[in-house]
Chain A
Amino acid sequence: AQSVAQPEDQVNVAEGNPLTVKCTYSVSGNPYLFWYVQYPNRGLQFLLKYITGDNLVKGSYGFEAEFNKSQTSFHLKKPSALVSDSALYFCAVRDMNNNAGNMLTFGGGTRLMVKP
Protein backbone atom coordinates (compact mmCIF):
# COMPACT_ATOMS: atom_id res chain seq x y z
CA ALA A 1 0.00 0.00 0.00
CA GLN A 2 1.13 3.53 -0.63
CA SER A 3 0.66 6.54 1.60
CA VAL A 4 1.51 10.23 1.85
CA ALA A 5 1.92 12.34 4.97
CA GLN A 6 1.80 16.10 5.14
CA PRO A 7 2.66 16.73 8.78
CA GLU A 8 1.56 20.36 8.91
CA ASP A 9 -2.10 21.29 8.57
CA GLN A 10 -1.10 24.93 8.11
CA VAL A 11 2.05 26.86 7.30
CA ASN A 12 2.27 30.59 7.95
CA VAL A 13 4.90 32.72 6.26
CA ALA A 14 5.45 36.40 5.64
CA GLU A 15 5.45 37.71 2.10
CA GLY A 16 8.93 37.74 0.64
CA ASN A 17 10.21 35.00 2.95
CA PRO A 18 11.06 31.50 1.75
CA LEU A 19 8.44 28.80 2.24
CA THR A 20 8.56 25.04 2.68
CA VAL A 21 5.62 22.64 2.67
CA LYS A 22 6.61 19.18 3.85
CA CYS A 23 5.69 15.82 2.38
CA THR A 24 6.83 12.28 3.10
CA TYR A 25 5.69 9.18 1.24
CA SER A 26 5.67 5.42 1.40
CA VAL A 27 5.54 3.11 -1.62
CA SER A 28 6.74 -0.43 -2.18
CA GLY A 29 8.43 0.40 -5.48
CA ASN A 30 9.77 3.57 -7.06
CA PRO A 31 7.61 6.67 -6.75
CA TYR A 32 6.13 9.17 -9.10
CA LEU A 33 5.58 12.27 -6.94
CA PHE A 34 3.35 15.27 -7.60
CA TRP A 35 2.38 18.56 -6.05
CA TYR A 36 -1.00 20.17 -6.68
CA VAL A 37 -2.52 23.42 -5.44
CA GLN A 38 -6.19 24.11 -4.82
CA TYR A 39 -7.73 27.56 -4.63
CA PRO A 40 -11.21 28.07 -3.10
CA ASN A 41 -14.03 26.60 -5.18
CA ARG A 42 -11.58 25.33 -7.76
CA GLY A 43 -10.17 21.98 -8.79
CA LEU A 44 -6.56 20.98 -8.31
CA GLN A 45 -3.88 22.65 -10.40
CA PHE A 46 -0.70 20.76 -11.25
CA LEU A 47 2.50 22.39 -9.95
CA LEU A 48 5.30 19.90 -10.58
CA LYS A 49 6.29 16.27 -10.65
CA TYR A 50 9.26 14.01 -9.97
CA ILE A 51 9.70 11.02 -12.21
CA THR A 52 13.40 10.28 -12.29
CA GLY A 53 16.68 12.09 -12.69
CA ASP A 54 17.61 15.36 -11.00
CA ASN A 55 16.41 15.46 -7.40
CA LEU A 56 15.51 19.16 -7.65
CA VAL A 57 12.41 19.67 -9.74
CA LYS A 58 11.25 23.07 -10.91
CA GLY A 59 7.60 23.78 -11.54
CA SER A 60 5.01 26.46 -12.11
CA TYR A 61 4.82 29.86 -10.40
CA GLY A 62 8.39 29.68 -9.08
CA PHE A 63 7.84 26.54 -7.01
CA GLU A 64 10.36 23.75 -6.76
CA ALA A 65 10.59 20.49 -4.86
CA GLU A 66 13.44 18.35 -3.68
CA PHE A 67 13.24 14.57 -3.85
CA ASN A 68 15.15 12.79 -1.09
CA LYS A 69 15.06 9.03 -1.48
CA SER A 70 16.76 8.18 1.83
CA GLN A 71 14.30 10.31 3.78
CA THR A 72 11.36 9.43 1.49
CA SER A 73 10.52 13.11 1.30
CA PHE A 74 9.42 15.50 -1.41
CA HIS A 75 9.20 18.95 0.17
CA LEU A 76 7.77 21.87 -1.79
CA LYS A 77 9.73 25.12 -1.69
CA LYS A 78 9.67 28.66 -2.98
CA PRO A 79 12.41 31.24 -2.39
CA SER A 80 10.08 34.21 -1.94
CA ALA A 81 6.41 33.79 -1.01
CA LEU A 82 3.60 35.89 -2.44
CA VAL A 83 0.24 36.63 -0.84
CA SER A 84 -1.33 35.06 -3.91
CA ASP A 85 0.36 31.74 -3.04
CA SER A 86 -2.09 31.35 -0.16
CA ALA A 87 -3.99 28.15 -0.95
CA LEU A 88 -4.29 24.46 -0.11
CA TYR A 89 -1.38 22.30 -1.25
CA PHE A 90 -1.51 18.58 -1.84
CA CYS A 91 1.32 16.10 -2.27
CA ALA A 92 0.52 12.87 -4.13
CA VAL A 93 2.30 9.64 -4.99
CA ARG A 94 1.90 6.89 -7.54
CA ASP A 95 3.89 3.68 -7.39
CA MET A 96 5.46 3.29 -10.81
CA ASN A 97 5.98 -0.41 -10.26
CA ASN A 98 2.45 -1.47 -9.49
CA ASN A 99 -0.34 -1.97 -11.94
CA ALA A 100 -2.61 0.73 -10.56
CA GLY A 101 -2.96 2.88 -13.62
CA ASN A 102 -3.19 6.56 -12.80
CA MET A 103 -4.40 6.14 -9.23
CA LEU A 104 -2.93 8.85 -7.01
CA THR A 105 -2.71 8.67 -3.24
CA PHE A 106 -2.91 12.14 -1.73
CA GLY A 107 -1.72 13.60 1.52
CA GLY A 108 -4.18 15.39 3.75
CA GLY A 109 -3.23 18.81 2.43
CA THR A 110 -1.43 21.80 3.92
CA ARG A 111 -2.97 25.23 4.02
CA LEU A 112 -0.42 27.90 3.19
CA MET A 113 -1.10 31.37 4.55
CA VAL A 114 1.14 34.17 3.28
CA LYS A 115 0.73 37.42 5.19
CA PRO A 116 1.65 40.84 3.79
Chain B
Amino acid sequence: KAGVTQTPRYLIKTRGQQVTLSCSPISGHRSVSWYQQTPGQGLQFLFEYFSETQRNKGNFPGRFSGRQFSNSRSEMNVSTLELGDSALYLCASSFGSGSNNEQFFGPGTRLTVL
Protein backbone atom coordinates (compact mmCIF):
# COMPACT_ATOMS: atom_id res chain seq x y z
CA LYS B 1 0.00 0.00 0.00
CA ALA B 2 1.43 3.38 -0.95
CA GLY B 3 2.05 5.81 1.87
CA VAL B 4 1.02 9.42 2.23
CA THR B 5 2.44 11.54 -0.55
CA GLN B 6 2.98 15.28 -0.52
CA THR B 7 3.82 17.59 -3.36
CA PRO B 8 5.91 19.51 -3.90
CA ARG B 9 8.67 18.46 -1.51
CA TYR B 10 10.36 21.86 -1.59
CA LEU B 11 9.10 25.35 -2.33
CA ILE B 12 10.68 28.78 -2.30
CA LYS B 13 8.38 31.79 -2.32
CA THR B 14 8.66 35.47 -1.54
CA ARG B 15 6.70 37.51 0.96
CA GLY B 16 3.21 38.40 -0.16
CA GLN B 17 2.83 35.46 -2.52
CA GLN B 18 0.48 32.59 -1.99
CA VAL B 19 1.16 28.87 -2.06
CA THR B 20 -0.81 25.63 -2.43
CA LEU B 21 0.39 22.34 -1.01
CA SER B 22 -1.07 18.97 -1.89
CA CYS B 23 -1.52 15.76 0.06
CA SER B 24 -2.69 12.34 -1.12
CA PRO B 25 -3.66 10.06 1.77
CA ILE B 26 -3.25 6.33 2.03
CA SER B 27 -5.88 4.55 -0.05
CA GLY B 28 -9.07 4.12 1.96
CA HIS B 29 -8.22 6.81 4.50
CA ARG B 30 -10.82 9.54 4.76
CA SER B 31 -9.20 11.87 7.30
CA VAL B 32 -6.39 14.24 6.42
CA SER B 33 -4.73 16.48 8.99
CA TRP B 34 -2.14 19.19 8.44
CA TYR B 35 0.63 20.22 10.83
CA GLN B 36 3.25 22.94 10.76
CA GLN B 37 6.71 22.13 12.12
CA THR B 38 9.16 24.90 12.99
CA PRO B 39 12.25 24.93 15.22
CA GLY B 40 10.70 27.53 17.50
CA GLN B 41 7.10 26.35 17.83
CA GLY B 42 7.53 22.65 17.20
CA LEU B 43 4.66 20.67 15.71
CA GLN B 44 1.38 22.53 15.62
CA PHE B 45 -1.98 21.35 14.35
CA LEU B 46 -3.42 23.36 11.48
CA PHE B 47 -6.67 21.61 10.54
CA GLU B 48 -8.30 18.28 9.82
CA TYR B 49 -10.62 17.31 6.99
CA PHE B 50 -12.88 14.31 7.05
CA SER B 51 -15.26 13.40 4.23
CA GLU B 52 -14.68 16.82 2.61
CA THR B 53 -15.62 18.72 5.79
CA GLN B 54 -13.31 20.63 8.06
CA ARG B 55 -13.43 18.72 11.31
CA ASN B 56 -11.26 20.94 13.45
CA LYS B 57 -8.97 23.93 13.15
CA GLY B 58 -5.91 24.99 15.09
CA ASN B 59 -4.93 28.45 16.19
CA PHE B 60 -3.71 29.89 12.91
CA PRO B 61 -4.76 33.04 11.07
CA GLY B 62 -7.29 32.97 8.27
CA ARG B 63 -4.48 33.14 5.71
CA PHE B 64 -4.19 29.40 6.23
CA SER B 65 -6.97 27.45 4.59
CA GLY B 66 -7.58 24.02 3.20
CA ARG B 67 -9.99 21.75 1.46
CA GLN B 68 -10.57 18.10 0.74
CA PHE B 69 -11.81 16.53 -2.44
CA SER B 70 -14.16 13.60 -2.92
CA ASN B 71 -11.19 11.24 -3.41
CA SER B 72 -9.87 12.35 0.01
CA ARG B 73 -6.93 14.25 -1.44
CA SER B 74 -6.37 17.50 0.37
CA GLU B 75 -4.82 20.85 -0.36
CA MET B 76 -3.79 23.62 1.95
CA ASN B 77 -3.31 27.20 0.89
CA VAL B 78 -1.39 29.99 2.52
CA SER B 79 -2.04 33.48 1.24
CA THR B 80 0.02 36.65 1.71
CA LEU B 81 3.07 34.71 2.83
CA GLU B 82 5.15 36.00 5.72
CA LEU B 83 8.73 35.12 6.64
CA GLY B 84 7.41 33.27 9.68
CA ASP B 85 5.50 30.86 7.47
CA SER B 86 8.77 29.16 6.57
CA ALA B 87 8.33 25.66 7.92
CA LEU B 88 7.95 21.98 7.19
CA TYR B 89 4.29 21.29 6.47
CA LEU B 90 3.26 17.75 7.29
CA CYS B 91 0.15 15.97 6.19
CA ALA B 92 -1.20 12.92 8.03
CA SER B 93 -3.93 10.51 7.06
CA SER B 94 -6.10 8.21 9.11
CA PHE B 95 -8.94 5.85 8.38
CA GLY B 96 -11.38 7.53 10.75
CA SER B 97 -11.75 10.71 12.75
CA GLY B 98 -12.00 11.00 16.51
CA SER B 99 -11.16 7.34 16.89
CA ASN B 100 -8.14 5.55 18.23
CA ASN B 101 -6.58 5.15 14.79
CA GLU B 102 -3.01 6.28 14.46
CA GLN B 103 -2.14 8.85 11.84
CA PHE B 104 0.38 8.18 9.11
CA PHE B 105 2.53 11.10 8.04
CA GLY B 106 3.87 12.09 4.68
CA PRO B 107 7.45 13.30 4.12
CA GLY B 108 6.39 16.93 4.27
CA THR B 109 6.73 20.02 2.11
CA ARG B 110 9.54 22.35 3.10
CA LEU B 111 8.42 25.93 2.44
CA THR B 112 10.96 28.73 2.48
CA VAL B 113 9.68 32.31 2.37
CA LEU B 114 12.24 34.93 1.33
Which A residues fall within an 8 A CB radius of B?
32, 34, 36, 41-46, 49, 51, 90, 92, 96, 99-109
Say yes or no: A44-B90 contact (C-beta < 8 A), given A34-B102, A101-B98: yes
Q: B44 — which chain A residues lie within 8 A by C-beta?
A: 106
* Residue count of chain B within 8 Å CB distance of chain A: 28
Question: Judging by beta carbons under 8 Å apart, are B4 and A43 in contact?
Answer: yes
What's the minimum C-beta distance from A27 to chain B, rounded to whole angstroms?
Answer: 14
Question: Judging by beta carbons under 8 Å apart, are A100 and B98 in contact?
Answer: yes
- Bound form: Cα–Cα A82–B58 in Å: 36
- Bound form: Cα–Cα A100–B99 in Å: 10
Q: A108 — which chain B residues lie within 8 A by C-beta?
A: 42
Say yes or no: A45-B105 contact (C-beta < 8 A), given A99-B98, A105-B45, A108-B42: yes
Question: Judging by beta carbons under 8 Å apart, are A43 and B43 in contact?
Answer: no
21 CB < 8 A contacts A-B? A36-B105, A42-B108, A43-B6, A44-B90, A46-B102, A46-B103, A96-B100, A99-B98, A100-B98, A101-B56, A101-B98, A102-B50, A102-B55, A102-B101, A103-B45, A103-B56, A103-B58, A104-B35, A106-B42, A107-B42, A109-B43
Q: B94 — which chain A residues lie within 8 A by C-beta?
A: 102
Question: Judging by beta carbons under 8 Å apart, are A32 and B100 in contact?
Answer: yes
- Bound form: Cα–Cα A116–B35 in Å: 34
Q: A49 — which chain B residues lie within 8 A by C-beta?
A: 100, 102
- Bound form: Cα–Cα A108–B38 in Å: 10
